[in-house]
Amino acid sequence: MSESVPTEPLRLWGGRFEGGPADALAALSASVHFDWRLASYDLMGSRAHARVLNKAGLLDDDELAKMLAALDDLDNACRDGSFTPTVADEDVHTALERGLIERLGPLGGKLRAGRSRNDQVATDLRLFMRAHVRLLVQRLAELETALVDVADRHKDVAAPGMTHMQHAQPVLFAHHLLAHVQAFARDVERLYDWDARAAVSPLGAGALAGSSLPLDPVTTARELGFASSAANSIDAVSDRDFAAEFAFCAALIGVHLSRLGEEIVLWTTREFRWIELDDAFATGSSIMPQKKNPDVAELARGKSGRLVGNLTAILTMLKGLPLAYDRDLQEDKEPVFDSLDTLLVLLPAVTGMIATMRVDADRIASLAPEGYALATDVAEDLVRRGVPFREAHEAVGRLVAWCAAHNCDLTDVDDSALREISAHLTPEVRAVLSVRGALAARSARGGTAPERVGEQIAELRSRVAGHVEWSRAGSPAQ
């Protein structure tokens, strides 16, 4: 941002004021250092507004042509950096009006008719977010693909399934990885829902009551790729649900990344040794030469804190805020930008870490039956033979206690010991004491049977293809 202060700073509200604002107020009030990134969206709205003014007979055709040319020129100047805001520009709208007046003289001052920064800023932020959510979905789809690929490459690897972080029942390692993909797929589809609700144009609401000029908000909305224009001008300038809802979507993505990150941290430990991270996605220690640290996974865990914080900031700012526009609403942007920026830098790193990690399939599979993980299968086998589950649970519980006392596995108990532990435990129960059998038996929809997991991979691949397509279709306003 340029530090040069023009001799007479342009303000959008000077008329009734004597003298300029106090430096302390100007410093507090300024938002241009963060809302400048809305510039191209503000100009998009300006083009649409210029056309509507022309239709309303408030700009003649010649003026419209000059206005559109100047807006294009200003857009290019913003993009190539030859036009930048100064410290005297309060916000992006002020800076761009200055740029327009520099190009057009008094004609530049006509564009503001029927429009307020209140409807403008709400429109700009929606446009910006709708475009960037597409980018976010692209990054999410890449992560989904990386996880599905790892699952696909290790489709047959059994793993200990855990509850309470204790061995519970064997599952396919792929089934576990795909559970994370299911969460990210919901995140993407939640953003579709968000987009549908965000596709409402506030333009035309003016400060809060609409305009007495014969504008056409429906046409403006359509030109900007919105599905409709706001049904209530007060709501149009007061509503920041789209910011809060996006912050929630981002926070939940953060929480999902954090849960994945925590597992990666665990899986890389000496105690687990399930995976090894590629050198490119691990870091060393400045003192301990042997260390290889999972910083990407830890940052995924850590950054969820700020994502939840951004949601809290927006909700807290909105709570108790009277209708319609209040300056508090200016605080909507930084948390939204931060959540977006955080995810756009975090997701590629997590994706890279997942795509390049080495999975120790033999070690994971060797741990699958440990911790008496097949006990439930024995109990369910007894149920199939007509034993009430309550009794079956009790009998197998005693079997586990016996094994623990004799320091052996379920498979090591001989026939007579089985019979001694419980009359229900006939030698046939041994038939279910295999990890493969336990996996194959869970063949209902949603189960970990290899067949079902294969179908799940195919289902997710086609869902992810839809995600990529949605993100590539681009925001309607792009």
Which residues of the chain form contacts with ligand ARG (CB under 6 A)? Answer: 31, 35, 91, 117-118, 121, 325, 327, 329-330
Residue number with CB closer to ligand ARG (41 or 325): 325
DSSP secondary-structure letter at 278? -
Is 286 annotated in the active site? no
Residue number with CB closer to ligand ARG (117 or 180): 117
Residue number with CB closer to ligand ARG (296 or 317): 317
Buried b (16+ CB within 10 A) or exposed e, 268-304: beeebebbebeeebbeeeeeeeeeeebbbbbbbbebb
The helices-and-strands tally (H runs, E runs) of the chain is 18, 6
Helix (H) or strand (E) holding 163: strand 158-163
Q: Which of 285, 366, 406, 443 is catalytic?
A: 285
Residue number with CB closer to ligand ARG (28 or 401): 28
Phi, psi (deg, nearest 5) at residue 26:
-60, -40
Q: Measure the N-to-C terminal CA separation of the chain; round to a whole number of Å.
A: 25
Is 285 annotated in the active site? yes
Tell me the closest approach of the beta carbon of residue 121 to ligand ARG, in angstroms. 4
CA distance 107 to 59: 9
Tell me the closest approach of the beta carbon of residue 182 to ligand ARG, in angstroms. 37
Q: Are 125 and 332 in contact (CB under 8 A)?
A: yes
Tell me the closest approach of the beta carbon of residue 32 to ligand ARG, in angstroms. 8
Residue 95 exposed, middle or buried by CB count within 10 Å (0-12, 13-18, 19+): buried
Tell me the closest approach of the beta carbon of residue 177 to ligand ARG, in angstroms. 42
Distance of CA 352 to the CA centre of its chain: 17
Please state whether beta strands 158-163 and 166-172 pair in parallel, antiparallel, or not at all (unpaired).
Answer: antiparallel
Q: Which of 4, 82, 164, 286 is catalytic?
A: 164
CA distance 256 to 237: 33
Residue number with CB closer to ligand ARG (95 or 460): 95
Phi, psi (deg, nearest 5) at residue 346:
-80, -45
Tell me the closest approach of the beta carbon of residue 117 to ligand ARG, in angstroms. 4
Tell me the closest approach of the beta carbon of residue 85 to ligand ARG, in angstroms. 12
Cis peptide before 477 (omega within 30 of 0): no
Residue number with CB closer to ligand ARG (91 or 381): 91
Kindly list the catalytic residues. 164, 285
